[in-house]
A and B are shown apart, each in its own frame.
Chain A
């Protein structure tokens, strides 16, 4: 038994850590969907841009300044994307907004390609987080342990925020009924902006953790984590925050267990994620925590 645990602990640790990072991205997808019924395809690329901003800012300033700056820059980027690419399409069909999101995604990727010259950028080493630590049989980075704890704390804070504050209440109202809440005097634009701000804030934190573990940023770095986080959000029931977090952990852990199953299975680790998406859509289209769809989609 102890042999089994010793051999498999590294997979589990990797799974929990990557799951936490997916969770932080997935919340951004799920919140935007809950409020706008929009799948924000650019979210994964915002995550990548946060990584690049970190790469460039650390060359010019010390780490304790660049980390807050990365978070602020990412939040501003998310806010601007919403104002420029989504807000003018508020009354357009939902499909137009989605296409606009895909456009923003490619725009960000190509801008990144231009700025990096297409080369992989080495992510700076964040002190302490990058230190090696030994747990039982596994040697890993401190960030692996920090990620799940930080994720849970942030999610807890977010849930409190949504349940207890006035703007949180407004967000809940808007996600229930867009038009009615508008009629009730809720400032819809500020609620939507707030959603993007929170989503991007979490994506920035996620990118700090993710790239500390996998320290190379390329223009398409955001697409795979973004897709997986999206699957996690669907799996947990898109629109539900706890659902997205649980979904992300399930996907992260399963993916790494499959990689550990032996050489004939490892190649299916990505396929698993997407098979899961199809199965969930077939069996329980609203996801494990999803509300019953009364209309829409």
Chain B
């Protein structure tokens, strides 16, 4: 779904980024480029926690007086509730910072439209797998820092189970907390298993760490952009047929989810179509 043009406003997409793996920030730039092409905002920028521009310098790049800030993050958690507000000097849903009005939107991963993207991704990577004979695992990082970080995934499991998509079993699994993704075969009552990483980028976790936990790779390999051989589904492992997807955030439809969050902000907090 699209939104009305905001020619007086800027869009600022906030990502995590990495000092180790440039693939981590690639989707954010792609989402920004896609939205820039649609000419809905006066300016579209990205900023990062681990890369440049940092959140601390992002406002120096922006001319517009009104800025929609969308965390291109997969869940509510430590980054969206602590780090981003702190780094951008946010004081509430709308804040005045350095003479600009910043509107803080919800992270992309908690938007209801993510359910459709997950189901679409599952169909794409395993078109021949009958859902009634297939387990769908949505996998994330998991952390002790903030209990909300797994909520988005648990919510999606509930929504997909209730959606009538017909999977034999749908479950969540994590790298660092139970249920562990390393035990994917024990979590799956069926022979067919689809694993979709609930991450924005095919960075360190979804492209390098989780394949080792699944057993696809014997050890942590090079980054996606440095590999010469691409992986092919399905993988026949542990007596099962495993389909492993790229990170959910790498799809071009994520640009629509960013715009959905801007629209939902306006619906929840009133229209902000002009510069304040």
A and B are interacting partners: no
B contact set with A: CB distance below 8 Å: none
A contact set with B: CB distance below 8 Å: none
